[in-house]
Amino acid sequence: MLAGIGIVLVTVTACGERPNSASPGGGGTAPTTSSEPAPTVPSMPARPGSSQTAPAGSTLVPPAQIDATRLPQDFPREVFVTADDRSLYLRAEEGGCNQASAEVKEQTLAQVVVNLVETRSNKQGQMCTMDIRYPLVSVALAAPLGQRKVVLTSEKRGY
């Protein structure tokens, strides 16, 4: 019985750890630190049924046209605009039983404010994995994006 409890404890604590940048079998070298920002296109899979790539013909919105100062530091900052300039695809963050979505909060001649939302599941007793996924979520625009600035905000709901 003690062996069973020990296995459960090791499994539970291992699920919450984040691996460092060492490769498997890489030996006991200490991880290095860097002042470079984290990559914006993570390799973690999205939830089943969501997309990891923007539709054909979409283009990346230039970083100078994106205001992501209201997002957490480690949040993705990748925005695509469709070929018709009427929809945005944004890299969001979700994990476990949570689901990402996006909503347009404001559209003016100068900017489009998009809120990235992570909604927590409210199913009682639901078991959730401890992973982070980065799906693309989309919003439709009332007018073409053109040169308007894309202002990104984020919110967690159901916590």
In a domain, 159, yes or no: yes
Q: Where are the extended beta strands (E) located within the chain?
A: 59-60, 66-67, 79-81, 87-91, 94-95, 99-107, 111-119, 132-133, 136-140, 149-157
In a domain, 80, yes or no: yes
On the question of pLDDT at 33 being above 80, the answer is no
Higher pLDDT, 21 or 66: 66
Residues 6+ apart with CB under 8 A from 148: 65, 108, 109, 110, 111, 112
What is the extent of the structural domain holding 68?
A: 57-159
pTM (2 d.p.):
0.67
In a domain, 52, yes or no: no
In a domain, 136, yes or no: yes
In a domain, 104, yes or no: yes
In a domain, 141, yes or no: yes
In a domain, 100, yes or no: yes
What is the number of domains present in the chain? 1
Torsion of CA 23, 25, 29, 30, to 10 degrees: 50
pLDDT at residue 159 in the model: 66
- Please state the rounded mean pLDDT for residues 97-126: 92
- Please state the rounded mean pLDDT for residues 40-69: 74
